[in-house]
Amino acid sequence: MDYQGKKELRAQLSGARPHSSEGLTQQLAAIVSSSGAETIASYVPLANEPDVSEFNRLAAQRANLVLPRIIGDTLEFASGEQVRGPLGIFEPTGKAVAISSIGLMIVPALAVDEMGNRLGKGKGFYDRVLGSFRGLSVAVVFDSEVIEAVPSESHDQRVAMIATPLRTLVVG
């Protein structure tokens, strides 16, 4: 599937997103517990994304929680007070951490398949970060968004796990 096919799939999935994230915190907490990560990268959820807010609160009590911010075409992670960034998303104000210090990265997605191919929003921020990330990457989606096949291009990066409100899948 080409770029146009991805664009159509994004539109279809975004319009049909469910809103219950009940159970997601427990799924992610189990992953954290087994990973032993000391630094965890997560995200600030938008209204239609799986809600990781409660997970973020718990993770910040157990580990160094860092959140993304956009600097030009780059995504970096930091902690600190959050302010509204250039895309209207809340971003941290603290000093950026090295990607190599992050042990677990929670990645938003619109869809993911069981091979770890994820469909993002099309800007490639997470693909660029995941290309050099060596820790455990976990895509977070609603259960209905684990689909048979996500279109993939050469620059797309796979994730190692999938977390939904009802289950966790190891990619393979």
Q: Is the pLDDT of residue 113 over 50?
A: yes
In sequence order, which residues have a C-beta less than 8 Å from that of residue 79 and are 6 or more positions away?
A: 64, 65, 66, 67, 92, 94, 97
Q: Which of 162 and 6 is assigned the larger pLDDT?
A: 162
Residue 153 has pLDDT above 90, yes or no: no
Q: pLDDT value at position 87? A: 75
**What percentage of the chain reaches a pLDDT higher than 90?**
70
Average pLDDT over residues 85-106: 92
Mean of all residue pLDDT scores within the chain: 89
Instruction: Look up the CATH number of domain 3-170.
Output: 3.40.50.10420
d(CA 168, CA 161): 7
Q: Supply the pLDDT for residue 1.
A: 46
What is the residue extent of each domain of the chain? 3-170
Condensed to tens digits (0 to 9), the pLDDT of residues 13-60 reads 655 656 678 899 999 999 999 999 999 999 999 888 899 999 999 999
Q: Going by C-beta distance under 8 Å and a sequence separation of 6 or more, which residues neighbour residue 147?
A: 111, 112, 113
pLDDT tens for each residue of 58-94: 999 999 999 999 998 899 999 999 999 877 888 999 9
Q: Give the global pTM.
A: 0.88
